[in-house]
Amino acid sequence: MPLSFDEALDAILLQADGRTTSTEHIALGQSLGRALSAPVRSGVALPPWDNAGMDGYAVKRADVMGATRDVPRVLTVRGVSAAGADATTLPPVQPGTAMRIMTGAPVPSGADAVIRIEDTDEGIDLVTVYDDRDANGRANVRPRGEDVAAGSELFARGTTIGASHLGVLASIGAHAVPVYRAPRVTIVSSGDELVMLDRFDEVEAGRRIVSSSSYALPALLRTAGADVRTLPLVPDTLGALTEALAGALDDGCDLLITTGGVSVGAHDYTRDALAALGGRQTFWRARIRPGGPIGTGTVRDVPWLGLPGNPVSTMVTGSLFAWPLIRLLGGHAGHRPLRMPVRFLDSAETPAALTYFLRVILSVGPDGMPEARLAGAQGSNLLRTMALANALLMIPPDVSRAEAGMHFTAILLPDVPLMTT
């Protein structure tokens, strides 16, 4: 019996059980988007010293408490602490004195507060303090180790390295980081009607169609962190497909993905080709639209994922199933698609007892709740609406017509920035 969406997703992700890729150390600058294969600990404190959160004067709290414009405090200025100053060479702040200080500069010993320059007369040799509010609470002092304590764990295993992670890792001197290797994914596509762009003249003559998925699917999978190899298009024969799959496995890959040949047509040979190679099929079809003809299993101990050949179905199932599987193989802790409640603004017929995935554009409603509009017509051959969408709207099997105002769950497309107006 065909599986539900969540059952299919669980079965597909189970193919990665115990199959996380090997680990390696790579230069920090090359690690963007990779997953940490071990926790990273800091050998230093960040910030490395108490430093000023404002331009002003480093003082002792007791010297300025109670200061007002009517009853100011006057302190002797002894030196300047600028950003980059050596904290060990600064003279201590004694009672009745202050030190001019810049934002980020080390706070000298003896001082426990920084008075903003706006609350003083900006004096050079003597400074008059008119307000004591900055002597309370944190007192504009950023304590040593406030962001990162020496010896603490910065990031856990499985953390995906983003731009800000690079900044933090650089701050602790991490020249190289331990990561999981990018999963090697091989894509095998079949279809006698398909050609690549170098044969576009046949498309113009009405004899063939462009294999759009040969361009779109590898791009999608690369955003998941995959090292993608796409084989030449395979003719619709059992022998040709079996030979292509065998060659892909011989060359080595962490995941084998096929597109097309997974339905029940006379030229759908994927199941037979896998069986000829000793493959094991976990399931074959899911109760979803588009993308129902989808399957998974293993062949020669390599996980296999069979996506439908229809361009929209390929991209929908690639986003829902292939993308999270690759993330899991690559060691990423966060791999399941992000779901969020939204309000639907259009209407759509969903008559079959299936989970429908409508291509939608999300925006923010007047009450702050996300709202979803159809990206256009929903035919499974209409790839442009997939390009316009930033999310997939899940319509459950018990809803035969989705109406405006109804609340549903949306899954953000993993390769599309969520831009709202």
CATH number of the structural domain spanning residue 159? 3.90.105.10
- Is 418 among the domain residues? no
On whether residue 240 sits in a domain, the answer given is yes
Q: How many CA atoms within 13 Å lie on the side-chain side of 363? A: 9
Same domain, 316 and 240: yes
Cα separation, 117 vs 135, whole angstroms? 13
What lies within 8 Å, CB to CB, of 117 at 6+ separation is: 54, 55, 56, 57
Q: 334 lies in a domain?
A: no
Say how far apart CA 180 and CA 21 lie, in whole Å. Answer: 6
Residue 418's pLDDT is what?
Answer: 63
Per-residue confidence of the chain (421 residues) as pLDDT tens digits?
899 999 999 999 999 988 999 999 999 999 999 999 999 999 999 999 999 999 999 999 999 999 999 999 999 999 999 988 998 899 999 999 999 999 999 999 999 999 999 999 999 999 999 999 988 889 999 999 999 999 999 999 999 999 999 999 999 999 999 999 999 999 999 888 888 888 889 888 888 989 889 999 999 999 999 999 999 999 989 999 999 999 999 999 999 999 986 655 444 789 899 999 999 999 989 999 999 999 999 999 999 999 998 999 999 999 999 999 999 999 999 888 889 999 999 999 999 999 999 999 999 999 999 999 999 999 888 899 999 999 999 999 999 999 999 999 999 999 877 655 4
Strand partners, 254: none
34 shares its domain with 12:
no
Q: Are residues 166 and 298 in the same domain?
A: no
Residues 311 and 170 in one domain: no
Question: Residue 222 to residues 26, 63, 330: CA-CA distances in angstroms?
Answer: 18, 60, 12
Q: Are residues 173 and 73 in the same domain?
A: no
pLDDT at position 263, please?
58
**CA 122 to CA 314: how far, in whole Å?**
66
What pLDDT, on the 0 to 100 scale, is given for residue 384? 94
- The answer to whether residue 196 sits within a structural domain is yes
Domain count, the chain: 4
Shared domain check, 290 and 241: yes
What pLDDT, on a 0 to 100 scale, did the predictor assign at position 421? 47
Structure tokens of 290?
Answer: 């588009």
C-alpha distances in Å from residue 273, one per residue of 107, 265, 268: 71, 14, 10
Q: Residue 355 to residues 4, 101, 117, 205, 295: CA-CA distances in angstroms?
A: 8, 62, 62, 38, 17
**The CATH number of the domain where 112 resides is what?**
2.170.190.11
Q: Specify if 419 maps to a domain.
A: no
Half-sphere exposure of 28 (CA within 13 A, CB side): 15
In a domain, 417, yes or no: no
Residues 33, 174, single domain; the answer is yes
Cα distance between the two ends of the chain: 43
- Judge if 196 and 318 occupy the same domain: yes
Is 249 in the same domain as 110?
A: no
Is 158 found in the same domain as 201?
Answer: no
CATH code, domain with 370: 2.40.340.10
The pTM for the full model equals 0.88
Which helix (H) or strand (E) is 360 found in, with range?
Answer: strand 355-364
**pLDDT at site 264:** 53
- Name the residue range of residue 33's domain: 25-44+151-180
Domain edge (last residue) among 304, 329, 354: 329
Residue 287 located in a structural domain:
yes
- Boundary-marking domain end, from 125, 159, 180: 180
Residue 420 lies in a domain: no
Q: For residue 337, how many other CB atoms are within 10 A of its CB?
A: 18
Answer yes or no: do 163 and 258 share one domain. no
Closest CA to 61 of 88, 89, 98, 87: 98
Which run of H or E residues covers position 64? helix 61-64
What CATH code is carried by the domain that includes residue 191?
Answer: 3.40.980.10
- One domain for residues 186 and 243: yes
pLDDT attached to residue 419: 56
